[in-house]
Every structure is written in C-alpha cells, then in structure tokens.
Amino acid sequence: MQSKETSLAVSEVSHTANNEKAFLFVQDLVEDLKKKYHVIFSGRAIMKIYPDCDYHFFISADLEERIKRKCIQYQGLESTEEIRKNIIKRDELQEKSGFYECSPITIQIDVTDCKSAKESADKVLQKIKIKQMV
C-alpha cells in the first residue's frame, strides 16, 4: 500500500526530476525480463521507459470512486475530505508533469464500474484479446 505521503511526494518531484538514466536502466531490465517471461509493467512513464511496448493502457476511475477506494485502503486513517484533497492535488501535479499524456497506441479504460481488482484486470485482458483477434 502506498502511503499518501509517498503518493504526493512522487507527484511533487516528478516534474523536476531528470529520469533519462533511470529510463534506460529500466528499459534494459524490461528487455531481460521480456526474454524470459511475459511481463506487465505499471507506471505513468512506461511509454518513456519502453516506447515499443505491445500495449499501453491508461486506466482511470471517476473521482468519487477513487475517493471511496482510498477510504477503504486507508481503513479510516484519513478523513474522506483529506483523501479527496490529496487525490485532487496529486492529479494536478501529475497533469503538470505530463503523466496523463497518451500515445497513439494507448487504450483508455475506465474501471469506475468494476467492483474488484480482478474485474478491472479482466476488463484490461478483454482489450488484449480483442486486439489479438483483429
């Protein structure tokens, strides 16, 4: 579980950090893993790290659903209003950093209506199956 402090800190420094060397390191790591396994990576900057990936998904949910899910995740340790404020702030920081940019291959998937992580994953997997059939 990512803490709210970590979530906000990453968003705050992401627009000033130069990640080129990190991207190259991760790209080498991905290449090694691709040779051995079928891999799935998650991250806002994956297209910069690995621009030739087979699939790129932008997974989203509406604000109220994201707040509800974070409230469950934090188990009452944060108020609903504090969670709302942090999500909005994080979204603003990530928007400024360019993390919501999509590439021509990006498939956008809204998981607001999904009731579990498995249901969200199935929604993504369905997009892979559809693309392979075409």
- CB-count burial class (<10 Å; 0-12, 13-18, 19+) for 50: buried
Task: Give ∠ CA 80-74-113 in degrees, rounded to 5.
Answer: 70
pTM higher than 0.75: no
- pLDDT tens series, the chain, 134 aa: 566 677 666 666 666 666 677 777 877 887 788 778 877 666 667 777 777 778 888 899 999 999 999 999 988 888 999 999 999 998 898 888 777 778 888 899 999 999 998 999 999 999 887 766 65
